[in-house]
Amino acid sequence: MDREAIEARLREVLGLKALPRSGWGRLGVREVESVAAHSWGVAWLVMALCPPDVDRGRALAIAVLHDLAEARVGDITPHDGVPKAEKARREAEAYRDLVAPLPHAAELWDLWREYEDASTPEGRFVKACDKLDMALQARVYAGEQDIDTSELVQAAVRALDDPTLRALAAG
């Protein structure tokens, strides 16, 4: 175990607490949530809404990890002009390096892949909660700051298959 490498990665990822979610600034939102605050929101939705056929503990782990790579590559949005394949490559490279020195690195990688690939019920549910969190946060910002966030709410609604989550996103 390389204690220094582990400590360096742990500190680097803590940077998510100060990294603003970049998409909100484009809409003129002031005092934007951090990536870590968003991840907490997704984890909260998993806790609150997890269906019985989804392993809640596994889904929670995925929710906590789903944006970890952004500590290194930033919060890349579709409006940044980075092709999807390039974004995926950058995030995979960053994520793999961030978790490499950690105990359970292989498990952490597998959990992240479940999210990225939507390859399990847990990965798909966390992806849905990610969209729901965006919609709910958009409605919060719209109400608090009188900003039109309807494009993000509608994008989330379109992305959600589950009727209950879709209704919650639509408001």
35 in Cβ contact with 23 (< 8 Å): no
Which top CATH class is 3-170?
mainly alpha
For residues 18 and 32, give the distance between their C-alpha atoms in angstroms, rounded to a whole number.
10
Per-residue pLDDT of the chain (171 residues; tens, 9 = 90+): 699 999 999 999 999 999 999 989 889 999 999 999 999 999 999 999 999 999 999 999 999 999 999 999 999 988 899 999 999 999 999 999 999 999 999 999 999 999 999 999 999 999 999 999 999 999 999 999 999 999 999 999 999 999 999 999 998
Place of tokens 């690939």: 117
In Å, how far are 49, 141, 151, 169 from 145, measured between CA atoms? 28, 6, 16, 19
Question: What's the Cα-to-Cα distance from 49 to each of 54, 60, 108, 143, rounded to whole Å?
Answer: 10, 11, 23, 24
Pick from 153, 113, 112, 151: which is nearest to 131 by CA? 153
What does the domain layout of the chain look like in residue ranges?
A: 3-170
